[in-house]
Structure formats: C-alpha cells, structure tokens
Amino acid sequence: MINAPKGTKDLLPEESYKWQYIEKIARETANLFDIKEIRTPTFEHTEVFLRGVGEGTDIVNKEMYTFNDKGNRSITLKPEGTAGVARAFVENGMFNMPLPQKLFYITSCFRYERPQAGRLREFHQFGVEFLGSDTADTDAEAILFAKTFFDKLNVKGLTLYINSIGCKKCRAEYETALKNYLRDNLGNLCALCRERFEKNPLRILDCKNEECKKIVENAPDILDYLCDDCKVHFNKVRELLDLAGVEYKIDSKIVRGLDYYTKTVFEFVSENIGAQGTVCGGGRYDGLIEEFGGNRVPGIGFAMGIERLLLLLDSIGVKIPDLNRTEIYIAPMGEEERKKAFAIVQKLRLDGVSAETDHMNRGIKAQFKYADKIGAKFVGVIGSDELAQGKIKIKEMETGAESFVDFNDMSEFVKENRA
Ligand code: HAM
C-alpha cells in the first residue's frame, strides 16, 4: 500500500460536504461585500515568495516546497496566497482597473512544517486582499468581513487581537529600541530567537518559548513608537470597529510571521483547538506591490486556514448541513422494472431532482438499507403492478408517510415536498 505523503489529507465524502458548505458561505459573504474571486497558479517562480513573504521569515527559510523544474527554473509551491495575488496584480495591470480591487481566493497552500493538529503540509486558505486603498475604513472592513463570515457559520469563541506594527520609518526606530533591550538578554533567548535578533527582531515578540516570553514581557511597546500617521490610522481602525460593534483586544506582541506587513495586523484566535489556535491572520501591506515592480499601491488582507476552521466548528459542535442529500431513491423489483427505474431517475435528474437507483443488483430489502445509508428522503418501489398502472408508491423515510404518484408527476412531487 502506498500512503499519502505526511502532512496531507484525503478528503472523503463524509467530510467534503463540510468544505462545500464553508466554501458556499465564503462565496456568498464575499458577494455581499463586493469581493470578486481571483485564482492564481499553484506554483510560482521562487522569487515571488522571496520578495513577497521575505527572506528573513520561517516560511522562506525552512518551509517552502522549492524545486528546479525540467527547464532548470526554481519553482515554489505557494506557501500562502498574498504574494501570488500581488504578482498577478502587477503583471495584469490591475492598478488600471477600478480601485480598490477587492479579491478573494480559496486555495491549497504548502509548507514543510512538522504536522500536528491544525498544521499540515498541504492546507487550504480562504483569503481576501483589498488593493488600492490606504484608508483605515478598508482595514476595518477587512476585519468586519472576517467577522461576518464567522458569524454566518455560527462560529463562537474566537478572540480578535489587533495591533499596529507601524510603517518603515517608525518600525526602524522601534527595532532599534527592541534590540537595545534584548541585547542584554541575548544569551537567554532560544536559538531561533538569537538568529532572529539581527534578521527579524520583531518575531521574537511572539515566540512561544517560555523563557523568551518572559524576556519580552517588559520589552518596549511598539504602540509607544508609532509615528503620528500610524497612530491616527490605528485609532481610526479602532473607532470603526467600535462603531460596527466588533469586539477586539489590543495585543502589541502580535507581529505576524511574514515580512510584508505595515500598520494594522490582526488575528482571530481560538482556545479550543490546541497549540495551532490562530484560525485567521492578516494585516496591511503598503509596500508589497512595489516589491513586484508596481507603483505604490497599498493593500490589506487576511487568510484563514480551512482545516483549523473545521476543527473549531467540530470542537464547538456546530452542525454543518449536507447540501448534497439524495432526494429520491427508486428501487426496482425485477429486470423490466430496472429499465423503467433507469429512465425515471434520468428524467428526475434532468428536472433538477437528485435521484439514485440500484447499481448492484440488490434485493428490495438491501436496497432500502442502502437508500437509508445514503440519506435518501424518499424511496419509491417499482414492481409489476406499478409498471402496469404507471404509478409508484413513494415512502418518506423519516416519517414513513406513503403517497401514490403518477410516473409523470414524480419530479413535481419531490419538489413540492422538499424540506
Ligand atoms: P498566515 O498567518 O501565515 O498568513 O496564514 C494564515 C492562516 O493559514 C493561519 O492563521 C492558519 O489558519 C492557516 N495556516 C497556516 N499554516 C498552516 C498549516 N501549516 N496548516 C494548516 N493551516 C495553516 C498568511 O498566509 C497571509 N498570506 C495572510 C494574509 C493575507 N495577510 C494579508 N493578506
């Protein structure tokens, strides 16, 4: 037997209906906010992520699936969605389209991480990117969109944390202050954070190592270092969230793991799903499009992990409806009846009714069992009497109620009795 690669997962029908539901709500909610779908390639030139995600990040340093293709080009499977969207935005001249461009995607992502609950090597993101606006309104709307989506799914128990990590100018000042503070404790930081000290000192703030956590407890606070422009922006985001009734906590230790962020950053975190509790993360990235050779086009977005969202929904007992229920199963009793059943289910399907019949030459009892297993709402049996009369007895499985219906009226009958 050959197993699937470590950190990947088969999605069987008993679970795929949940994904379909989440994707449906995602698309519907996006439509309410006038957000259009973008699909970018599964792999990009490695350069896209070096520039986009950043060379000092864990993703680029350790986690990318990078290989040379047969033409000897360095190719990388996308570890996240934003960099590819930024590349596509510039390449397709989307800055000439009406701004802001409000985009969403549902995509596979690939990161070579140590697999555990909520952490896979192939996982899936639902993300949005709003490009072209630098107003705080857009930040607030991105957050509100995520909140609206969670509400529509009946997700409870997520805490929204927000922070501002400033712009290039004020962050540089903060980094100097942070490094001055950390320098005395350098020997006590974990090996990873010692590496981060030069390349990416901000990441030390959200290290999960207990010793590092203790050390950063008294570190200078980034919010005290924001320049006037960043301060006004952050306050405006907060004001708009307050107005919209969105609850949040400010956590000045949230810095996010990717290099492109500026100003607002945020995360929705759950306590219910173990160590990988960040279901959704995002923020503003005002310099990213320039990295791809575009003009200065500001942006903000977020992505949520669909696997983590499902873990959360399961843990809080949200029941996800199966939208693919078989509406009617037609059970033929003999050879002649099979032909009729074959024709009837095809007619039902063309009329927009989900219908199934026997494929396995089962007896009538076994057919009922099967119909029950696939969750058919109705079962109709065709025997010689039914063939002769052109009528069928239809049983509603849940209630046991029976009706006689003309062969020609079956589609109408099912449609009229849809739950
Ligand atoms: P990220 O925080 O790296 O941000 O990932 C976003 C979400 O993807 C996480 O909150 C988590 O739910 C999920 N995720 C990440 N890694 C894994 C994994 N190995 N297994 C399962 N789920 C995972 C980004 O990717 C940014 N591109 C978000 C963004 C969009 N910022 C602005 N626009």
- Residue pair 74/68 in contact by the 8 Å Cβ criterion: yes
Percentage of the chain surpassing pLDDT 70?
100
The best mutation among 308, 309, 311, 313 to test binding of ligand 1, ranked by most ligand atoms within 8 Å of the C-beta, falls on 308
Pick the residue whose CA is nearest to atom 14 on ligand 1.
305
Q: What is the dihedral of CA 41, 42, 43, 48, to 10 degrees?
A: 70
Distance 270 CA to ligand 1 centre (A): 14
Task: Identify the band that residue 56 occupies on the pLDDT scale cut at 50, 70 and 90.
Answer: confident
pLDDT of residue 419: 72
Residue 304 Cα to ligand 1 midpoint, Å, equals 6
Atom 23 in ligand 1: which residue has the minimum CA distance? 305
Average pLDDT over residues 280-286: 98
Give helix then strand counts, H and E, for the chain. 15, 16
Half-sphere exposure of 127 (CA within 13 A, CB side): 27
Res 330: pLDDT: 98
Residue 129 β-bridge partners: 103, 301
The residue contributing the CA closest to ligand 1 atom 20 is 119
Distance CA 113, CA 351 (A): 48
- Which amino acids bring their CB within 6 angstroms of ligand 1? 80-82, 111, 113, 118-120, 123, 125, 127, 129, 257-258, 278-283, 301-305, 307-308
Nearest ligand 1 atom to alpha carbon 301:
33
Q: How far apart are CA 268 and CA 260, in angstroms?
A: 19
Convert 86-152 into a string of H (helix), E (strand) and C (coil).
HHHHHHCCHHHCCCCEEEEEEEEEECCCCCECCECCEEEEEEEEEECCCCHHHHHHHHHHHHHHHHH
CA distance 416 to 398: 16
Query: Ligand 1, residues 125, 155, 263, 289: which to mutate, most atoms within 8 A of Cβ?
Result: 125
Quote the ligand 1 centre to 281 CA distance (angstroms). 6
Sign of the dihedral through C-alpha 222, 86, 30, 319:
negative
Region at 202 (left for phi over 0; alpha for psi -120 to 50; beta for the rest): alpha
Determine the angle formed by the axes of helices 136-152 and 13-32, rounding to 10 degrees. Answer: 140
Tens-digit pLDDT profile for residues 100-123: 999 999 999 999 999 999 999 999
Residue with CA closest to ligand 1 atom 2: 281
pLDDT band at 199 (very low <50, low <70, confident <90, very high): confident
CA 243 to ligand 1 centroid distance, Å? 28
pLDDT at residue 103 in the model: 98
Ligand 1 mean position, distance from CA 326 (Å)? 35
Classify residue 362 as exposed, middle or buried by CB count within 10 Å of its CB (0-12, 13-18, 19+). middle
Structure tokens that stand for 350 in this block? 């063309």
Beta-strand relationship, 328-332 and 378-382: parallel
Mutate to test the pocket of ligand 1, among 61, 80, 111 (most ligand atoms within 8 A of CB): 80
292's tokens: 């791809």
Q: Whose CA is nearest to atom 25 of ligand 1?
A: 80
What pLDDT band is residue 159 in, cutting at 50, 70 and 90?
very high
Q: How far is the CA of 120 from the centre of ligand 1 (A)?
A: 11
Q: What is the pTM of this model?
A: 0.95
Mean pLDDT of the region 337-353:
97
Q: Which atom of ligand 1 is nearest to the CA of 118?
A: 21
CA of 154 to the centre of ligand 1 (A): 21
Residue whose CA is at the smallest distance from ligand 1 atom 30: 302
214-232 residue pLDDT tens: 999 999 999 999 999 999 9
State in Å: Cα 118 to ligand 1 middle: 11
pLDDT the model gives residue 286: 97
Whether the per-residue pLDDT at 367 is higher than 90: the answer is yes
Q: With H, G, I as helix, E, B as strand and everything else as coil, classify residue 42.
A: coil
Q: Which atom of ligand 1 is least distant from the CA of 258?
A: 3
CA–CA gap between residue 183 and residue 187 (Å, rounded): 9
Percent of the chain with pLDDT over 90: 94
